[in-house]
Amino acid sequence: MDAPVSRRPTAGQMALAEAIARGEQSLGSEIKTIPADVYLDPERFDTEMARLFSKVPLVVAPSALLDAPERAVAHDGYGSPLIVSRDRDGVAHVLANVCRHRGTRLISPEDDEPIAARRIVCPYHAWTYRSDGGLVGIPRAECFPGLDPSGIELARFESRECGGLIWFAKSEDADFADAEAVAADFDAFDFAGHHLYERQTHEVAANWKQVIDAFLEAYHVQRLHASTIASFFADGITVADRIGEHQRAVVGRADYLASVDRGDWSALRRAVTFTYQLFPNTIVVVSPDYINILVVMPLVVGRCLVEDFMLIPEKPETNEAEAHWRRSWDLLDGAAFAGEDFKAAELCQRGMESGIAGDILLGTLETGIAEFHARIDRYL
């Protein structure tokens, strides 16, 4: 992982902050609508899985999940049995969690914490693989005459590790250019140098897009989060742009920024909140001293998983530090996300399913949602 170094904002990050300081705002020009069927139609859901989730690069985990060479973890969230591993040289891989002998799972998905993986041993017949997927051992090899183990390895998915995130794609033709482009922003926050404090997977009874929608507008923050995190966020203005298919947004107050040395990256981060929607299904919220990465993984048309990762600058070394980060985790993951955002998504889904709501109305503060759905429509 990268050693901590002095960080500076990218030109794009600075441009958005300067836009807020000038009082600019990303606003739509009119009310827009989204048909309720985009959250309800099973055929559309299947098309999204086939034309979107099977084609484009997806975030699977932050780099900090595998904090040392020769570590591995099972991952089933995208509907395929995966192993996310780091080999002896520190290179990340996304492999099939399927033995090449009889198809058994190599690492149990119930073991959700990373394990030491200098060797990955099949629990059925003890076929043995390296952390990069290469086969290195077959018990009673004489029972497989003519089989050359050097030509056998676990199925491998296209993957990239950049900007402190591990991405993978089910398609061999996937284009990782946008993932690599947004990595510069995450390097500015030193994602790769952070410590993974906590992670939790939530099952949400809502279409996956309901969850993404909740993080594409700041209109709800002072209202839905009034009893939790609203006091930490000004009911300010939002400016947004795109990095390829990914959306980057900044929320802040022009009057706050007027008194901030915007050349001081730490001071600037305390004055604005950066949020990224990594197309199609990941949200990154960068708070002044920690980072939340929410990966939304569709299960069926009305249900999804959301894995929340919280990154902090360094591992807590004192009881006071542990108590500080535990309060932050409980406030965000437990109260604000699970208790408010995910619950709101579920209630929206119930309203859509009732058939009473009709089309969804989006005001001029919710233009990010309309743009997100338009990008999905282009893929479908």
pTM of the model: 0.95
Q: Each residue of 356-369: pLDDT tens digit?
A: 988 999 988 898 99
Paired sense of beta strands 303-312 and 246-252, if any: unpaired
**Residue 133 zone, left/alpha/beta (φ > 0; ψ -120 to 50; rest):** left
Q: For the packed helices 11-21 and 177-188, what is the interaxial angle rounded to 10 degrees?
A: 60
Residue 1 above 70 pLDDT?
A: no
Q: Which CA distances in Å does 240 have to 18, 315, 345, 357, 366?
A: 12, 32, 23, 29, 11
pLDDT tens, residue by residue, 120-143: 999 999 999 999 999 999 999 999
Which region, left, alpha or beta, applies to residue 257 given φ > 0 means left and ψ of -120 to 50 means alpha? alpha
pLDDT computed for residue 221 by the predictor: 79
Neighbours of 291 (CB within 10 A): 23
Mean pLDDT on 225-231:
79
Of residues 314, 310, 357, 368, the one with CA closest to residue 337: 310
**Residue 234 — very low, low, confident or very high, per pLDDT cuts 50/70/90?**
low
Average pLDDT over residues 259-276: 89
Mean of pLDDT values over 265-273: 89
Select from 299, 309, 303 the least CA-distant residue to 278: 309
Q: Structural domains in the chain? A: 1-56+190-380 (3.90.380.10), 58-174 (2.102.10.10)
Query: What is the CB neighbour count within 10 angstroms for residue 307?
Result: 20
CA distance 356 to 351: 7
Q: Which of 53, 107, 94, 312 is nearest to 199 (CA)?
A: 312
Across the chain, mean pLDDT equals: 93
- Which residue is it, tokens 């249900």? 303
CA 18, chain centre distance (Å): 27
- Asked whether the predicted pLDDT for residue 59 surpasses 50, the reply is yes
